[in-house]
Structure 1
């Protein structure tokens, strides 16, 4: 995992951001790793969480680009940086709610940091609902592994 991703996760943890890692990086923790152009975090769209995320983004070096507009709008994706080191913050994702993802997430140790990760069952549900070709391929692999 790139150092920038680790630093961002550590900042989210230190600021008590309500987040769960989803997408390709979560998939790679469960199955055979594949290339991915970003790291995705599903975040709670509350005012309190937005203040915490603003603090993280300021410390991470993106504070000046934020402005005063509301950040965590349902359906909005905040994209930071460029592929393959892009960080995406999502307030909605296909097929699952933040509450159910947060309730079933597990903490995974990645080197010196802990990261909250979507459960494989909900990752499968999300990937199937997303419906993109790469998501459906991931879903087939997850389903085979889960039903093993």
Structure 2
């Protein structure tokens, strides 16, 4: 399946790659990649919460043009932080924790693929299922029913 990205999503993922950030695409884009294409109002990026990685992520966010005084690497070292950029349907959400799984556990099952010609890392299907189950939101439970 070919996944096309809005220009802002593509540019942000390119910058994460350029800065060697450790990340996984999760949420609706991951659900679509794994076999249930559905509409989504954003792209969800989950980052590894190591001191070295959050420095790379903040550098990518700043180069993307989102530089506010409270955007520091320390922000992403705190628990359950999300940075939102843009407005639906072109919103980018960067988070450091998700329900049901740890980044280190998901690293080995991640899938390296291409979205719109750009290499990206996507959460593996088994880990996506664990996350959706732990989240328990109605749309996550629907995703679980629809995934292969």
Q: Paired residue for 2:118?
A: 113
CA distance in 1, matches of 2:113, 2:73: 33
- Does structure 2 retain, via aligned residues, the 8 Å contact 1:107–1:117? yes
Structure 2: gaps of 5 or more residues: none
Residue 127 of structure 1 is matched in structure 2 by: 132
Q: Does 1:28 align with 2:21?
A: no
1:45 counterpart SS class:
coil
Give SS of 1:135's match. Answer: helix
**What CA distance in whole angstroms lies between the structure 1 residues aligned with 2:10 and 2:55?**
21
Distance 1:100 1:69, change over 3 A: closer
Does 2:75 match 1:71?
A: yes
Contact 2:83 2:95 in 1 (8 A): yes
Partner of 1:50: 54
Which portions of structure 1, spanning 4 or more consecutive aligned residues, are displaced by more than 3 angstroms? Answer: 64-69
Superposed CA offset, 1:91-124 (max 9, x none): 1111110111122101111232101000111111
CA contact (8 A) 1:45 1:74 kept: no
Label 1:67 to 1:44 Cα distance change in 2 as closer, same or farther (>3 A).
closer
Selected match of 2:142 from 100, 120, 137? 137
Deviations 1:17-51 (A, max 9, x none): 01000011100112231111111111011211111
Hey, which of these two has a bigger chunk of helix by percent? 1
Q: TM-score, normalized by length of structure 1?
A: 0.90
